Structure 1
Amino acid sequence: MSQAVLDGVRDLLPGIRERADEAERLRVVPEASIKELEEVGFFRLLQPKRFDGLEADPVDFYSAVRDIAGACASTGWVSSVVGVHPWQVALFPDEAQQAVWGADSTTRLSSSYAPTGKATVTDGGYTLSGKWSFSSGCDHCSWVLLGGLVFNADGNVIDFKTFMVPRENYTIVDVWHMVGLSGTGSNDIVVDEVFVPEAFTLSMSDTGRCLGPGQEQNTSDLYKLPFHSIFTGTITTPIIGMARGAYAEHVEMQQKRVRAAYLGEKASLDPFAAVRIARASSEIDAAWALLVNNIREEQAHVAKGEQIPLELRLRVRRDQVLGTQRAIDAIDSLFEASGGRALATGTYLQRAWRDAHAGRVHAANDPERALQMYGAHQFGHKVDPGMY
């Protein structure tokens, strides 16, 4: 079934690419693209089978995201972050899963995980308030997953949770005017004194230990993988896809390009240009290969019923942030060698250059923090389990 989705996604790529300018103009992914992706089953890839999902291999999900981003970076980004949320919803208590998918298994959720909201303990749940930024694709969703710190009656922080909130209980504030990933509609979410039942929350301390109440119903090994491995991969994968799209356009442009400043020399005959694309393609391939290999190693441990070693989980984060950097380095190299025509409005290359650097500033792509954790562990120091 996953292969049918991948084939269906590839059939959609020309249309998605044609709508890239529209996405940038509208500041949101066109509804037509979302509808097409829904119809081929993309948003069901990581969804539980009991709610009409596919419980697919996460590498298949990443492969589809990579291809979509290679056609339109904003569409790839939104597809990735919205498409991964069914994986986390599957970890919530069954009551929350039923509320989301029981009546409509096509329901989608956006998110904003930074704990910028405040939750206070009340009878049966929590009272949640706050403002969250960067909720990509929120206009296409009817629920949102929000990060928040939990305070007790004494005003002390006692937990960091994800809160699941339906559309009628939050406001979307249109603030998304950006030079990169401008088609993602990553607007603000505002919640004002909303009650969230206990069953509609998930503690990050549990997900940090690869646990969740929903594992009782959703027993697939898919839902036993680490949160930070699955979710950070959804941030790097679109950027790898952008690099692949930039590479394809660069090669095509250089095959046609004649360099007037060099007496009409064909750009494709420039040996330095050939070296540059060899280096760029290696960086892109390395980023992808390490991402896939690390997920495969984690899956192997889960399949054997083993706890995933901390070293491996930290290696996932190490290679994830460096994978983002490799992809951006490749884009930078290709962009600066593409000539003035690459600057033209409508070219994939200039948009990929802007979009990839916009994606680079996402918190999941903070290289120093991820690399410091890996290095500290190698030196035998204690690492905060909530960060991996």
Structure 2
Amino acid sequence: MEAVLAGVRELLPVLREHAQETEDRRSLAPETVKALAETGFFRLLQPARFGGHEAHPLDFLTCVREIASACGSTGWVASVVGVHAWQLGLFPDRAQQDVWGGDPGTRMSSSYAPTGRISRVDGGYRVNGRWSFSSGCDHATWVLLGGIVPPGDDGTPADFRTFLLPASDYTIEDVWHTVGLRGTGSNDIVVDDAFVPEHRSLSFNDTARCVCPGQEQNPGPLYRIPYASIFTYAITTPIIGMATGAYRAHVDYTRERVRAAYAGVKAAEDPHAQVRVAEAAADIDSAWYALQTNMRELMDLTTAGAKLPMPLRLRIRRDQVRGTALAIRAVDRLFESSGGRALAVGTPIQRFWRDAHSGRVHAINDPERALSMYGRGEFGLPLNDAMV
């Protein structure tokens, strides 16, 4: 995996240089996606039988953090598109063949909020509706959509599932005009009466139980971890990366900044500025340390064939939302200490600040939901949330 990380790091100066251009075009440039693909990044979590690396999640998340430290929008798209290779590995083999059989480099975007209409039909489902916030959809030819299948007449209970659709079954509507993460191209997916065969759907109940059809062909430990443990960190890690980028930009800027309002004193000599940098660094390091610790413990247990204890799964969700909060606090502290010139369009500090706050409002980062689950677990109360 060192080769992939080295390739990603070689791209960082280019990503940093074109960050404003990415924001202005409201989508990643095709050249950027091609360059990322050539490093092998999008194959990190892909099953080995399709030429993927089947890497440790920490390898993937480390690359995500680096990418997001150069350009928040690129890091966000890389993370959410890159993690889909892991989820497809949980689908029935026929679905994996549908996507990767002809081209193992095929990418997927997603929108999991169950905003569409799903109905059961012979052999599968009928899917209709509109799904929003599908980051990177312009650079994908399949999409993963969340939907609730209503209870059946035979007493079959309702089921929250992911549905896999090819580009021929949906249209993309350009609606992405935002204050942050502007370069992610997170547009709407519109589906008009598409048929999705049974093998192209996956229940969230199965992903929560870590028992999925794809494990028959992909038995490795990577595909026996909970969806909520890896996908939630795929949202938090770009924000940690943005905070890292903001930190580096702030330190570089402050080293040379002179505060005219304070008799020409160098900002770097201000003890208050020094304290703020220390506090921001501590928050970023704390968020990343918890992520590393949790991912290593999770994979060590899975590799050993051990059952994943619920306290660990709850701790991962707790630390994930806390990691986002720590990263946001660090960015805020740095932004407040950067002075008025940091407000100028094109400066990295204000862009990282807007991007991080935009990522913060993702539903996965809802702290009350995750922290309440942790509290219920500590008090011995029942848990029935699939996102743990």
Are 2:131 and 1:132 equivalent residues in the alignment? yes
**1: CA distance, partners of 2:107 / 2:303:** 29
Runs of 4+ in 1 over 6 A off after TM superposition: none
- Per the TM alignment, residue 387 of structure 1 is displaced from its structure 2 partner at its CA by 2.6
Q: Is 1:7 aligned to 2:3, yes or no?
A: no
- State whether residues 250 and 338 of structure 1, in contact with CA within 8 Å, keep that contact through their aligned partners in structure 2: yes
- Give the alignment's TM-score, normalised by structure 1: 0.98
Identity %: 61
Partner letter of residue 271 of structure 2?
P
The gaps in structure 1 that reach 5 residues or longer are: none
Residue 192 (1) aligns with residue 192 (2): yes
1:19 deviates by 1.4
| TM-superposed deviation, 1:219 | 1.3
Q: Find the counterpart in structure 2 of residue 16 from structure 1.
A: 15
Q: CA RMSD in A?
A: 1.1
**Alpha-carbon distance in 1 for matches of 2:376, 2:217:** 37
Aligned partner of 1:308 in structure 2 is 308
* Residue pair 2:227, 2:387 contacting (<8 A) in 1 also: no
The 3-state SS of whatever aligns with 1:387 is coil
Q: 1:157 Cα shift?
A: 5.6
Q: Is the contact between residue 180 and residue 355 of structure 1 (CA under 8 Å) also seen in structure 2?
A: yes
| Displacement after TM superposition at 1:128 (Å) | 1.0
Question: C-alpha separation between the residues in 2 aligned to 1:236 and 1:182?
Answer: 18
Q: Give the whole-Å Cα distance in 1 for the aligned partners of 2:48 and 2:299.
A: 19
1:117 corresponds in structure 2 to: 116
SS of equivalent residue, structure 1 residue 342 = helix
Which residue in 2 is equivalent to 1:381? 381
TM-score, normalised with respect to structure 2: 0.98
Q: What does residue 85 of structure 1 align with?
A: 84
Q: Distance in 1 between matches of 2:88 and 2:152?
A: 28
> Per-residue CA shift, 1:16-72, capped at 9, x if unaligned?
111111111111011111000001111000001111100011101000000000000
- Mapped partners of 1:370, 1:59: distance in 2: 21
Q: Aligned-pair distance for 1:156?
A: 8.0
Q: Is the 2:93–2:214 Cα contact (8 Å) retained in structure 1?
A: yes
Could you tell me whether the CA contact under 8 Å between 2:56 and 2:299 is conserved in 1? Answer: no
CA distance in 2, matches of 1:387, 1:138: 24
Counterpart residue type for residue 222 of structure 1? L
Mapping of residues 54-65 of structure 1, within 5 Å: 54-65=53-64
Q: Is the contact between residue 151 and residue 159 of structure 2 (CA under 8 Å) also seen in structure 1?
A: no
Give the distance between the partners of 1:387 and 1:58, measured in 2 at CA.
18
Contact 1:120 1:152 (8 Å CA) reproduced: no
The count of residues paired between Structure 1 and Structure 2 equals: 387
Partner deviation per Cα, 1:281-331 (whole Å, 9 max, x = no partner): 000000001011011111121122111111110100000001000001000
Question: Which moves more between the two structures, 113-122 or 180-189?
Answer: 113-122
- Aligned partner of 2:262 in structure 1 is 262
Q: Secondary structure at the match of 1:282?
A: helix
**Other-structure match for 1:228:** 228
Give the deviation of 1:385 after TM superposition: 3.7
- Alignment deviations for residues 101-134 of structure 1 (CA, whole Å, 9 cap, x no partner): 0110110000001111222111111111121110
Tell me, yes or no, if the aligned pair for 2:301 and 2:307 is still in contact at 8 Å. yes
Q: Which residue in 2 is equivalent to 1:273?
A: 273
Cα shift at 1:367: 0.4
- Is the 1:172–1:189 Cα contact (8 Å) retained in structure 2? yes
Measure the CA separation in 1 of the matches of 2:218 and 2:45.
11
2:49 maps to 1:25: no
Higher mean displacement: 360-369 or 116-125: 116-125
SS of the residue 2:188 aligns to:
strand
Contact 2:208 2:226 in 1 (8 A): yes
Distance in 2 between residues matched to 1:157 and 1:147, nearest whole Å: 17
Cα distance between partner residues in 2 of 1:219 and 1:3: 24
